[in-house]
Amino acid sequence: MKVGSALLVDQSTGQVNRPWLGTLVDDLLWLRARKQEVVLVSSGAIALGRRELRLAPGPLALEQSQAAAAVGQIALAHIYKELFATAGVTVAQVLLTLEDSEQRRRYLNARATLSQLIELGALPVINENDTVATTEIRYGDNDRLAARVAQMVSADCLLLLSDVSGLYTADPNLDPAARLIPEIREITPGIAAMGGGSASAVGSGGMATKIAAAKIATAAGCAMAITAGAPLHPVRRLEEGADCSWFLPAQNPENARKQWIAGSLRPSGAVAIDVGAAQALRSGKSLLPAGVVSVRGRFGRGDTVSVLDAGGAEIARGMIAYSDEEAARIAGKRSAEIEAIVGFRGRAEMIHRDNLVVLRGDLATT
């Protein structure tokens, strides 16, 4: 479950909205009581910290946000600890950066820690580690962080508590004819287009980041719901039939490794390929050096890269077997020539099909 800053922090006082949060904690305890395992992604650190540091209203510079997060995260962790302690539930603070989900080893490590916490009965409360993240390596919003976490723990369901009650055909604040879409089976380009704009003043996520989150979650076989978080007991209300939008999970999710590759938020680079290679990938084959036309970005062996067609559109993603320099040198060459060029006997494939995900039109996440 993901809770945004706009819900958690009272906008007039800059303090935690305790009466409301108490009812959310009650709901989570009720889920736990019926043996559902809950992981919470909570924003609010920056909103709380900026008040304590008396920073002026309006947009913050990156280092001000990071300073505010360092201060506010203490308050945030404290409130959850206090509220859950009354029910004897232990909370665990986990702060993640984008690198933790984009590098496979760190991803697997974080996953192991979260599984252990859940197994021990603790309730993980997760936020972005804003203080050490730079602009280039930020999740930037907790919607996508929550989706990556849902994928990491193989969640069945991701619930985004929002300031709107779901996905509308148009912005309901501007267009009285806007209709709520209760169920989304596939994130078509038309659905993705409904996500434009509408970020609130406090949090950083709008509908577009929620749709990006839905792509990651549903591809991982996890259902996702968006519902209004502001009413008391928002989770119970959802179960009682409150307005919401459900994004249905993919019927045949890729295996965990491929899900991780497809859900990558920030591929390190890209390789452009020719028409023949694009056809080969679509029919389930590996990417050979011969089909590669050009190489972009800096990456090492094992990094995730985008695969672009002749028109520059991203058609696949994969974990590449060569660094950018090596890849540039063997691009367009036959596999038999690799050893002579790079000086070692590398893989015959630039990206092996086991490490490659061909994206359906609707699955690209960026």
Q: Look at strands 244-247 and 183-184 and give their pairing.
A: parallel
End-to-end CA distance of the chain: 22
Say if CB 212 and CB 143 are below 8 A apart: yes
Give 89 or 147: the residue with its C-beta nearer to ligand GLU: 147
Minimum CB–partner distance for residue 65 and ligand GLU (Å): 8
Least separation in angstroms between CB 149 and ligand GLU: 13
The span of 44-52, 244-252, 285-293, 295-303 binding ligand GLU (CB under 6 A) equals: 44-52
Strands (E), the chain: 2-3, 40-42, 91-96, 123-128, 157-162, 183-184, 223-228, 244-247, 269-273, 292-297, 304-308, 314-319, 356-358
**Judged by CB under 6 A, does residue 151 bind ligand GLU?**
no
Q: Is 142 in the site for ligand GLU (CB under 6 A)?
A: yes
Q: Is 245 in the site for ligand GLU (CB under 6 A)?
A: no
DSSP 61: P
Shortest Å, Cβ 326 to ligand GLU: 37
Instruction: Using the rule CB under 6 A, give the single segment among 23-31, 52-60, 124-132, 275-283 that binds ligand GLU.
Output: 124-132
Select from 7, 39, 46, 147 the one that contacts ligand GLU (CB under 6 A). Answer: 46
Residue among 27, 128, 326, 349 that touches ligand GLU (CB under 6 A)? 128
Residues 6+ apart with CB under 8 A from 98: 133, 137, 138, 139, 265, 266
The number of residues that bind ligand GLU (CB under 6 A) is 16
Contact window for ligand GLU (CB under 6 A) among 42-50, 186-194, 227-235, 246-254 = 42-50
Q: How far apart are CA 131 and CA 209, in angstroms?
A: 21
- In this chain, which of 40, 43, 126, 222 binds ligand GLU, going by CB under 6 A? 43
Q: Is 233 left (phi over 0), alpha (psi -120 to 50) or beta?
A: left
Packing angle of the helix pair 62-85, 45-52 (nearest 10 deg): 110
Q: Which residues in the 60-99 window bind ligand GLU by CB under 6 A?
A: 69
DSSP letter for 336, please: G
Kindly tell me which of 143 and 303 has the beta carbon lying closer to ligand GLU: 143
- Interface residue with ligand GLU among 45, 155, 194, 330 (CB under 6 A) is 45
Binders of ligand GLU among residues 252 to 291 (CB under 6 A) are none
Instruction: Name the one range near ligand GLU by CB under 6 A: 21-29, 80-88, 197-205, 244-252.
Output: 197-205
Enter the tokens of residue 117.
């916490």
Q: Least distance to ligand GLU from the beta carbon of 300, Å?
A: 28
Asked if residue 204 binds ligand GLU (CB under 6 A), the reply is yes
Name the one range near ligand GLU by CB under 6 A: 126-134, 261-269, 273-281, 297-305. 126-134
44 binds ligand GLU (CB under 6 A): yes
- Only one residue has tokens 């630039």, namely 350
| Alpha-carbon radius of gyration of the chain | 22
- Write out the DSSP string of 190-224: HHHHTT-----SSSS--HHHHHHHHHHHHHTT-EE
Residues making contact with ligand GLU (CB under 6 A) = 4-5, 43-47, 69, 127-128, 130, 141-142, 203-205
